[in-house]
Structure 1
Amino acid sequence: MEATSIRATTTKVYVMNSTAFKFKKNYLSFRKSVLLRSPMDTKSISLNSIRAQQSTTTMAETDYKNELKIKEWEVGKFQDERRLPTGPPLNYVCPFEFRLVNEDDNTPRDILEEIVWNKDKEVSLLKERMPLDTLKKELENAPPVRDFLGALRKSHLRTGLLALIDEVKKAYPSRGVLRKDFDPVKIDQAYEKGGATCLSVLTDEKYFQGSFENLEKIRNAGVHCPLFCKEFIVDAWKIYYARTKGEDAVLLIAAVLPDLDIQYMTKICKTLGLASLIEGVQLVGINNRNLGKINTRHLLEGERGEVICQKDIIVVGESGLFTPSDIAYVQDAGVKAVLVGESIVKQDDPGKGISGLFGKDISP
């Protein structure tokens, strides 16, 4: 049996057995085909890493793998590829929760993992205050969804230029506050006037000094550009919550979410009418933060490029864009839209910042 763990490869599983999982009655038919290894059978388990030495819970994939459909992800694979801190139970999209004992010192390996751990705790508290059933009722009062994907396509076809997704970002973990006189509504209005097609709003409070209140304020201010909620989503609850605040599109980070979670959350987005940007798959994001190591042009050549053209996928170049030559680089690579924050939000006049980035006035 192939065994894996949600911890790093040095982690050992101690407190898992079949009673740790509470199956719903209508899924009992899967019981015979899902085998869970008891920790009493062995003192340690050889662990395999799935993504960046982050892995999954102990399980066997047998006949049920072919029977299980994504729409039944409530039972799903007992899988999470994030290395979580010891303490609170692991929160899945599905209804299973359990605790693992970790021998490590539980120090985040990098800023992304630190943010994700914080998000796990944050969403647990939010779900206690507002259960999902209650949150879903709030959707009735949400403003209508606008076509984020369509707006990007129309802009690119109309102008022949890269469609611009401008970002409202007050701070960055490694750079501190980017703009002290931060007024999200005024900034977005300037973005829209300057030629932005869509707007991205950072909603993380602890690390980026953003908020869902900013998202709601911008939507209620009458900004016409579709809004992209840029959040570190680790639980489907946040997708519903962002929709109540007026989002039109949402970010799903491949380095954070297990594959089945991404597929499940993508289905939720489709149900709500939202576009999902996956970093996909009508909308794909390539992060250019380190242009010295990430070759955007190479990523869009050959077989990948053919698939992207055949499926009419919009590729968004994200981050690391500061000059007209940067814009020319990603456009030449095949990118059809760019998401830009820091290089424009720091300008006294964001509208002029857009013109400076593109090397010309792109306002309508």
Structure 2
Amino acid sequence: MATVLDEIIVGVRADLAERRRTVSLDAIRTLAAEATDRAPARDAYAALGGGRLDPQGIRILSEVKRSSPSKGALADIASPADLARRYEAGGAAAISVLTEQHRFGGSLADLDAVRAAVDIPVLRKDFTVDEYMIHEARAHGADLVLLIVAALDEAQLAEYLAVTHALGMNALVEAHTVEEIERAVAVGARIVGVNVRNLKTLDVDPRNYATLAPHLPEDVVRIAESGVQGPEQVADYARDGADAVLVGEALVKHGDPTQAIRDFRAASLAVRG
């Protein structure tokens, strides 16, 4: 039986095939190289932690997210650029932009708008299933791409991470189990996210981060993903050693995302002393 992840990837591949009919792999590689010549990728590894604590609190990877498979429509984001600027003003370390269309309502146009609006690193958050998408992300100014261990075999994971690094970018390598963390570390991932949302069922259990965190090496940036409803969950993730927290729904639905980010960071300081 197909899982939610399987169904999402079917849509990603269909959209990708359409874009490739318009822009070839060679052409997108050229566009990526030209984008890098104009503006090299920002150092997302350093921005998200890079092995050092921030005296202002845990780093927040803030997400521009219109909808989700589990919740449907989340927010009517009239201007991704304005939202991104509000995130940056609140102290966001980086911004994640959903570009998957069918389940998340995102687009590369959203990515372009955010990239032009802020100076901090930007993650192109889509389900990377082909090298093409990595070059495409760089062509649109992304500094980070998402590599989901559960969606890739070992050869693909290693290859796509190498392509990402060759373009000067970083990858958020997402894991859900101890075995997936081990696979991420084995290929040289520098930024590892533990997603407490089960991508097969969409169930969320924030306690999973505390269970899996001890298996994350000291020298990777550790990101807790999903499950944040307010400062309490951010504080819990900070207590369990996360360097950064990915937050989407709680920010796009908040009336004042700038203040929300400040509150999240302040909550983390309280538990870290």
Separation of aligned partners in 2, 1:189 and 1:151: 17
1:273 correspondence with 2:168 = yes
Moved more, 211-220 or 350-359: 350-359
Separation of aligned partners in 2, 1:338 and 1:156: 15
Contact 1:155-1:197 at 8 Å conserved across structures: no
Separation of aligned partners in 1, 2:26 and 2:110: 24
Contact 1:152-1:198 at 8 Å conserved across structures: yes
Give per-residue Cα distances to partners, 1:36-76, cap 9 Å, x unaligned.
Answer: xxxxxxxxxxxxxxxxxxxxxxxxxxxxxxxxxxxxxxxxx
Shift of 1:321: 1.0
1:325 correspondence with 2:232 = yes
2:7 corresponds to: 114
Separation of aligned partners in 2, 1:329 and 1:351: 21
Q: Match for 1:201: what amino acid?
A: V
Correspondence 1:36-115 to 2 at 5 A: 109-115=2-8
Specify whether residues 217 and 278 from structure 1 end up closer, same or farther in structure 2 by C-alpha distance, changes over 3 A only: same
Shift of 1:291: 5.3
Gaps of 5+ in 1: 1-107
1:218 correspondence with 2:131 = no
Specify whether residues 187 and 139 from structure 1 end up closer, same or farther in structure 2 by C-alpha distance, changes over 3 A only: same
Matching residue within 101, 115, 123 for 1:205:
101
Gaps of 5+ in 2: 175-183, 198-202
Higher helix share: 2
1:352 correspondence with 2:247 = no
Larger radius of gyration: 1
1:314 corresponds to: 221
Moved more, 318-327 or 235-244: 318-327
Contact 2:61-2:246 at 8 Å conserved across structures: yes
Separation of aligned partners in 2, 1:138 and 1:168: 24
Shift of 1:170: 0.9
2:59 corresponds to: 163
Give per-residue Cα distances to partners, 1:156-189, cap 9 Å, x unaligned.
Answer: 5331621110000011123222112431000000
Separation of aligned partners in 2, 1:300 and 1:158: 19
Shift of 1:358: 4.1
Specify whether residues 211 and 156 from structure 1 end up closer, same or farther in structure 2 by C-alpha distance, changes over 3 A only: farther
Give per-residue Cα distances to partners, 1:216-244, cap 9 Å, x unaligned.
Answer: 111123x0110011001111101101110
Separation of aligned partners in 2, 1:211 and 1:320: 24
Separation of aligned partners in 2, 1:131 and 1:197: 33
Higher strand share: 2
* TM-score of the two chains, using structure 2 as the length reference: 0.84
2:23 corresponds to: 130
Specify whether residues 173 and 258 from structure 1 end up closer, same or farther in structure 2 by C-alpha distance, changes over 3 A only: same
Shift of 1:141: 3.0
Q: Match for 1:354: what amino acid?
A: I
Specify whether residues 257 and 200 from structure 1 end up closer, same or farther in structure 2 by C-alpha distance, changes over 3 A only: same
Moved more, 259-268 or 278-287: 278-287
2:159 corresponds to: 264
Specify whether residues 117 and 284 from structure 1 end up closer, same or farther in structure 2 by C-alpha distance, changes over 3 A only: same
- Aligned-pair identity (%): 32
Shift of 1:137: 1.4
Shift of 1:155: 9.7
2:209 corresponds to: 296
* TM-score of the two chains, using structure 1 as the length reference: 0.64
Separation of aligned partners in 2, 1:255 and 1:155: 26
Correspondence 1:10-25 to 2 at 5 A: none
2:49 corresponds to: 153
Shift of 1:325: 2.0
Q: Match for 1:297: what amino acid?
A: A
1:232 correspondence with 2:140 = no
Specify whether residues 220 and 265 from structure 1 end up closer, same or farther in structure 2 by C-alpha distance, changes over 3 A only: same
2:138 corresponds to: 243
1:337 correspondence with 2:244 = yes
